[in-house]
Each structure stands twice: as C-alpha cells, then as structure tokens.
Structure 1
Amino acid sequence: MGRGRVELKRIENKINRQVTFSKRRNGLLKKAYELSVLCDAEVALIIFSSRSKLYEFGSSGITKTLERYQRCSFSPQDNAAERETQSWYQEVSKLKVKYESLQRTQRHLLGEDLGLLSVKELQNLEKQLEGALVQARQRKTQIMIEQMEELRRKERQLGDMNKQLKIKVSLEMSSLEAEGQGGLRGLPYTWNYCGPSENTMFPMHTTSQPNAAIECDPEPILQIGYQQYIPAEGPSVPRSMAVESNILHGWAL
C-alpha cells in the first residue's frame, strides 16, 4: 500500500514535530539552492523555528535580496518617502552623536567629568587649553594695539585742530588791534595848535619840552551884577583888589 495523504495540521507531539521540522527545513533549503543554480534565480529563504532560531539562505545575499524586494514591492512615491525618512533619521542620529560629543568636550574644557579620561587624553586637553590661552592673549594684545592707534590718531587730530584754532585766534586778535589803532588815528583833535601870530590878542606860552606842563598866571575874573563894595580899612587890602572893585563899581554905574 502507498503512503496515504497526510492531513495538514499542527503536530501535537513535540518530538514528531521537531523531527518533521528538521526534515522539511533541510529539504526546503535544498530546493532553494537547486532552484537558484538550475534556473539562475535570486533566491532568499528565511526560517524561524518555534524556539526563535534563525535559518536563512540567500543566493546573492539576504540583505541585497531584501533591498531589491523593498524597491520592487513599494510604489515610487512610497519608496521616495521611505528613503527621505531614512535619510532624515540618519542625519538626526549623526547630529545627536555630534551634539553629545560637543557637550562632552565642553565639560572637559570647563574641568568637569575628568575622572574617565586617561593620561593621554588629559595631556591633549592640556595642550588644547594652552593653545586657546595663547590665541586669547594674542587677540587681546591686537585689540589693545588697535585701540592705542585709534587714540593716537584722535590725539593728532585734536592737536591739529588746536593749532588751527590758535592761528585763527591770533589772526582775529591782529585784525582787532589793527582796527583799534586805525580808529584812534581817525579821532578829531579837540583843539588845533596854531603858532604865535601877530593878530592874536592873547600870548601863547611855549616851552622847550613838549610834554612840560604850561604854567599860566591867574587873570582877573569878570563878575557881572551888582555887588556892594565895602572898602576895607587899613593898609592890609591889596591894591589890585581895590582897583578891581573900582572898575566893577564904575561899570555897574
């Protein structure tokens, strides 16, 4: 009698189930290999047992076959979106790793979390700090030199402005002095000197020295009006006063 048809259902006996799995697994792997060789096909086979053991076969490599399968199974739009998502995910992962590395480096430069560093890493950190300190000092010196040059330039500008102002003030003072002297020369004389003339009735007293004071004898003062004449008694009255009184008395009459 031939072998009867086996009913396809789960084998309850664990031993029989494991034996059947091993036989059919080997036969399936053999058939996949024969198919890839005889028909020049790209075959990939992945098997997980009930105990989560992996069994695989790939004529061109499992990863390559899976990528080809993804390109063929998805539509072009979905494939592009999937590739963009994957690229963004990879970019985010790279940036995250870089950010963590920068934070760790910053903590090391601040003197934090140095317990896990080796001697070589500490030496490298020390060299970095020394280089940064040298650059900072050079930059500080350069800024100070630039500020000094700027202050010197402003000082020269202020000096030039001061010289120009001095020249301007001196010119204005010279012009004012010249105008003052011209005004004094243009003032009219209060009296005009005339030399001795024959027609004059009053003699002019002259001196040999120009700056000498002119001495004048007092002349009688003419008084208009009536004055009562009281002759003085005795010889103590001067003659000139008596003559003057007589003249005034006769004129008043």
Structure 2
Amino acid sequence: MGRGKVELKRIDNKISRQVTFAKRRNGLLKKAYELSLLCDAEVALIIFSARGRLFEFSTSSRNLLGEDLGPLNMKELEQLENQIEISLKHIRATKSQQSLDQLFELKRKEKQLQDVNKDLRKKIQETGADSVLQMFCQDVGPSGSSGHANQANQQEYFHPDCDPSLRMGYDHAYLDHLNKE
C-alpha cells in the first residue's frame, strides 16, 4: 500500500517544515549516492537550508577547494592547476566583460545628458537669459509650486546682501533699487 499524493505547496507550520526538510534532504542525499554507485555516474548535490546552511554531496574529490591534495601525484596536481587556471581566466573574462558593459552604459547615459544640456543651453541662448529666468520664476517657486504668486514672495527667499549675479532668479524692484544707489 503506497502513500497518497502529497500536495506540493509550502508547509506553513515551521516545525513541520523543518522536519520535512531534514527527512527529504537525507532521502535526496541517499538517492544521489545510490545513483552514483549503481550507474557509475558523477553526481554533485548542493542544498541550502532556509537558514543558509550548506549540505553537499559529490562523488568526485573536492580538490578544487584545496582539500585532500596529499594523495595526488605530480601529473594530477598539474591537471588540477590547469583546470583552476582555466576557470580563473573564464571568471576574469566574465568580470571584465561586465565591467566594459557597465562602462559603455554609463558613457551612453553621459552622452545623453550632454545632449540634453546642449539643447537647454541652445534654448537659453535663443530666448535670452532674462526671459528664461522670468519663466522659471513664474512657473516654479522655491517650494516647487507653480504660479505667479511666487513673484510677490521672492524678496523673502533671497538675502539682500547676496551678490545678484549668484541668484537663481531676481527681483526687478531689487535690481532697480541697487541701480539707484
């Protein structure tokens, strides 16, 4: 008599989930061992628990991690060294390619921003700086709000001792006052 079909969904009860994980993990490790033994297959299995613990099984030695090197002869050590060098070259090539891709993307964005900046400068030159500043002051106030009420409140946002050339916008009455002095 077999077991009924189990519905595959996350087990809500934490303790039941951990018990099931431990049982199924052990069963999976056993099956991996049996497969490697019965079929003379190389099998590697890596399992991470919900807490991040590592469980592993491998039919081949773990020499790539630098373990169990003592019984290896010179030829096997050289083969292992070559394998590691090839893997390292592949990793470095992938890293370099990703860095280049990122660099090209950043250069593309820089070019795009330069084009936008160039267009804005051209608009300023075409319309004249005074009208652009007036449009800016009318459309967007210091608080980010729109409207013409901003012009009446400009005085309070600018310090009277500041150099007028350093201001984002300017008040005509204030400049007339400076010119009379």
Q: Same fold (TM over 0.5)?
A: no
RCO (CA 8 Å, sep 6+): is it higher in 1 or 2? Answer: 2
TM-score bracket relative to the smaller structure: 0.3 to 0.5
Who wins on radius of gyration, i.e. which is larger?
1
Q: Scaled by the length of structure 1, what TM-score is found?
A: 0.30
Q: Scaled by the length of structure 2, what TM-score is found?
A: 0.41
